Amino acid sequence: MLSRREFIAKGTETAVSIATAAGAGLLAGCANSATSHPPMVSSFRDLAGSRSLRAHAHRHGLIYGSAVVIPIVQKNTDFADLLSEQCGILVPSNELKWVALRPSRDTFNFGPPDFLYDFAQRNHMLMRGHNLCWHESVPTWIRKIDNKDEIKQLFVDHITTVCKHYAGKLQSWDVVNEAIDPNDKLPGGLRKSFWYDNVGPDYIDLAFQTARTADPNAKLTYNDYGVEGDNDGDAVKRRLILEMVKGMKSRGVPIDAIGIQSHLNAGEKYGQGVADFIEAFHQMGLEVYLTELDVNDDATVSNDLAGRDAIIAKTYTEFLQAALPNPAVKQVLTWDLSDRFTWLNGLGSHRRKQPNRLERPLPFDADFKPTDCFYALRDSFDHRKRA
């Protein structure tokens, strides 16, 4: 007998399966591209249905999706079509964060996320929430409060209100985002933040417990970056997150999944470190989502686009070869779908070596044409060897 939570999860995944099969059926008459790189793609629509990332992911036990900036989906119908053809799950890149969702104490801007939820439903897509708690999205109005008890109550009330609003609708929530920073030298490697200072180190447990109470169906996720690489810094952060999650499990804190953001750097080494990290969570019975995948090649000084694309695609392939074999990995989301909208081109020049050069991190270029990343992703889904 499925629990309500399992029923909803099954229901939504079934809906995705139906849509994916339907999508595939749309092209039933077309030769299913045996090769990865069909000779000619005149439009992104040639890659819908059985040729899509959504269909290839689904065939190998994965859900592929993307982060989106909601106003773009509302204004650009071609892009909305591309999303619905290629994605089985969406996440708002900004509109569920405190700053966008709650600009004042008494205002909840549910309009844009509600639009995205309806769009996802109409296209048989799942939706995930990002995020209920993040040090980088704390509205000014709450920072002006100097009463810690009041801040803690606001913290609980916010999570309760938002999770109840979407109860039974979202597949998962990034409940807490980026809570670990060993450079802050706090116990457990916790990041010094507004929430740490005002709610205390237990804010993490409190956030997950509050979210579960308000929405028993959503899979509750801890999401972080800087854990993907085979290097000492990422290894330290992996260890700290593992210790934090083991502690949460030992205290009975409800956590269901780990989000590995997967903001990768072209040419860096990704392999055993992230594979072992994922297996450790698999052993704990947690799911793993690759939540914000993209590849930044800002450090590569070159204007040879083909050469850049090849290195970027190779980085996708090597990382996914390490991550995808583990059955705990259930979702792969890129942090947007087209280079036209990548956050990387919006970074301040202080964070970029080549601020005037456009980044090429995603499966579709600025003209919505498939890039080498598209084929690297799709081939990686197809070559998923179950561990």
Min dist. Cβ of residue 339 to ligand G3I (A): 14
Min dist. Cβ of residue 281 to ligand G3I (A): 19
Strand partners, 220: 173
What distances in angstroms separate CA 293 from CA 41, 45, 86, 316, one per listed residue? 24, 23, 15, 9
Sequence-ordered list of residues with C-beta below 8 angstroms from that of 309, at least 6 positions apart, any chain: 360, 371, 372, 373
Instruction: Output 135 or 383, the one with its CB closest to ligand G3I.
Output: 135
CB 302 within 8 A of CB 185: no
The count of residues interacting with ligand G3I (CB under 6 A) is 9
Q: State the helix-helix crossing angle for 305-323 and 372-382, rounded to 10 degrees.
A: 20
Query: How far is C-alpha 191 from the geometric centre of its chain's CA atoms?
Result: 21
Can residue 137 be called a binding residue for ligand G3I (CB under 6 A)? yes
Can residue 6 be called a binding residue for ligand G3I (CB under 6 A)? no
334 three-class SS? strand
6, 118, 136, 197: residue in contact with ligand G3I (rule CB under 6 A): 136
Taking alpha carbons only, the member of 76, 30, 68 closest to residue 50 is 30
Residues tagged active-site: 178, 292
- Counting every residue written for the chain, the total comes to 387
For 244, the token pair is 């934090």
Min dist. Cβ of residue 235 to ligand G3I (A): 20
Query: How far is C-alpha 357 from the geometric centre of its chain's CA atoms?
Result: 25
Q: Which stretch binds ligand G3I (CB under 6 A): 91-99, 187-195, 240-248, 349-357?
A: 91-99
210, 261, 262, 317: residue in contact with ligand G3I (rule CB under 6 A): 261
Write the interaction track for ligand G3I spanning residues 298-337; mark x where CB under 6 A is met and - where it is not: ----------------------------------------
85, 228, 287, 292: residue in contact with ligand G3I (rule CB under 6 A): 292
50, 52, 86, 93: residue in contact with ligand G3I (rule CB under 6 A): 93
For residues 158 and 165, give the distance between their C-alpha atoms in angstroms, rounded to a whole number. Answer: 11
Min dist. Cβ of residue 265 to ligand G3I (A): 14
Interaction site with ligand G3I (CB under 6 A): 93-94, 97, 136-137, 177, 261, 292, 343
